[in-house]
Structures are given as structure tokens and as C-alpha cells.
Structure 1
Amino acid sequence: MNWLLSTALIIATVGTIVSLLMLLRYRPVRGTYSVSLRHFTLLLLVYITVILSFSNLYLGLEMLGIAVLKEGNSHVEGTVNHLIEDIVYFSAVTLLSVGYGDLVPVGIGRIIAMVQALFGYLLPAAFVVTSVLQVAKKEE
């Protein structure tokens, strides 16, 4: 079981890195606006991939018995469906904002949440930079 979870965590990490590289390397088709629907779709897909990858990481650690989230004053508990729901919610809130405080990372979860929040701030910046560079190239 530990081998399976470790493999899933590695796949999630590789998926996140590949998604970020795709966002940075994406070039709009010549003759179209540099900020296109395709570009926004790619950004959305990268966000979804990163949310699910970090969710997979949190879930894997929870399944290994390493506490990463706390709800109120107690460890996140309940059915597996409730755990998955809480983890995906926490992952999305951490990536898209600074969090609400209803679910709090603990232990190694704090470091992972900081990295995820950093990704959340860097993704729009990468999107804007790629778009601006494409506009600058077209003007030359």
C-alpha cells in the first residue's frame, strides 16, 4: 500500500511540474490575439491539475497516517469521501487565496501549503509574463 501511495505522490508531483512547464512554454498561434481562449483554457487546466496534484499529496500523507490538516481543534476525520472533499476544498482555497482558517495545515502540511500558495501567486504572473512577451515579439 505504501508503494502505491508513493507512486501516486510522485505522479502528482511530476504532473504539476509538467503543467507549469506547459504554461510557460505555450505559444499562441501566429495571427491570433496573444491572450486567447486557448491560453485561458490552458491556465484553467493547469490550475485544476495543481489543485488535484496537491490534493493527492495531502490525501496520500493522510492515508499514510501523517496528519496534515486540522479542522477546528481536532484532526480531520470522517468517511473517506468527507476527507477527500475537505482536502480538495483546502487545496483549492490554498491555491486561489490565502485560506479561510476553517481547515488548518499542521506539521509537514504547513510547508506543502506554503509551496502551494506560492504556486498560486506564480501562475497568474507566468500567464501575464508569457502574454506580454508574445505581444512584445509581435510588435518587433
Structure 2
Amino acid sequence: MIYVLMIAVIICIFMSLRTLFFPSKLKHKLVSFDNFLFLGSTYSVIMIGFGLLFMSLEIEGFNVIAEQGSHFSGNYIEKLNSSMYLSAITLFSVGYGDIVPIGIGRVLVVIEALIGYTIPAAFVVKSVINYEQNNEMKK
């Protein structure tokens, strides 16, 4: 069951990224509230998705989180909180160091950090392209 959840989460992350990089239509404004909500929902899906991946791997027995120098242990709620926290600080490139990835978690945080780093750039480029296309269509 955990593997089905993990696959579903990965699909949601990819679909969210696909929509960001290849949208069918964004509003043709340089900055709009709709685009802001779209960006926020993209970040939320990716953060929650990776957090659930971290938690799922922990539940399955893979060591992916170390807290204050020792292997992380705790109940389900503590694992969920720590997994979401690790995901958020990784996605937004903060990285306090109180919770660190280990094992396969290191690969996942590198992927998440790269995604978090490229989302703003992709969003700005896409907004500018859409703005320019909209101006060309008006002429």
C-alpha cells in the first residue's frame, strides 16, 4: 500500500511540474493573482509530495532522516511533521541543519532542491513569454 501511495505522490509531483513548464494556458498578464495561486499550489504539491515520500520511506524502514546527529525515531505524527519540515526547508533552500537527510534521502533532497531552485526561474520565463505572445496577438 505504501508503494502505491509513493507512486501516486510521484505522479502528482510530475503532473504539477508538467503544468508549470508546459501549461495549456496561463492568464496573459505579467503578474496576476491566478498565477500567484498557481505558483503557490505548485510549491505546495511538491513540498507535500516529497514530505510524504520521506515519511513513506521512513515507515518502510529506510533511514532517510537524522535529527540532531542521531537516527530519527518517533510516532507517525512526529515522522509526518519532520518529513514535511525537511521537505519545506529543502524546497525553499533554507537548510537549517537540525534535520538532515541520510542514505537515499540525500538523493531525494538534491532532486527537490533543484526543483525548488528552478521553479521561480521557470515561472518568470513562462510569464514573460506569455506576456510577449499576448502583446503580439493584440497587434
Q: TM-score, normalised by structure 1?
A: 0.91
Deviation at 1:34, TM superposition (A): 3.1
- Deviation, 1:136, is 1.7
DSSP-derived class of the 1:129 partner? helix
The 1-side partners of 2:18 and 2:30 are apart by 18
Q: Map Cα deviations across residues 93-121 of structure 1 (whole Å, 9 max, x no partner).
A: 10012411000100110000000000100
Q: Is the CA contact 1:28–1:36 (under 8 Å) kept in the aligned structure 2? A: no
Consecutive unaligned residues in structure 1, runs of 5 or more: none
User: What secondary structure sits across from 2:66 in the alignment?
Assistant: strand
Cα distance in 1, alignment partners of residues 130 and 31 from structure 2: 9
Structure 1 position 73, deviation (Å): 1.8
Aligned to 1:58: 54
Please point out which of 23, 33, 40 is paired with 1:37: 33
Residue 125 of structure 1 aligns with which residue? 121
TM-score by length of 2: 0.92
8 Å CA contact 2:55–2:80 kept in 1: the answer is yes
CA distance in 2, matches of 1:35, 1:21: 20
- Match for residue 71 of structure 2? 75
Give the whole-Å Cα distance in 1 for the aligned partners of 2:132 and 2:48: 34
Contact 2:31 2:127 in 1 (8 A): yes
| Deviation of 1:8 (Å) | 0.5
Consecutive unaligned residues in structure 2, runs of 5 or more: none
Provide the alpha-carbon RMSD of the alignment. Answer: 1.2
**Partner residue, 2:14:** 17
Give secondary structure in 2 for the equivalent of 1:70: strand
Q: Percent of counterpart pairs with the same letter? A: 36
Query: Are 2:133 and 1:137 equivalent residues in the alignment?
Result: yes
Instruction: Please state how far the C-alpha of 1:25 moved relative to its aligned partner.
Output: 2.9
Name 1:7's counterpart in structure 2.
4
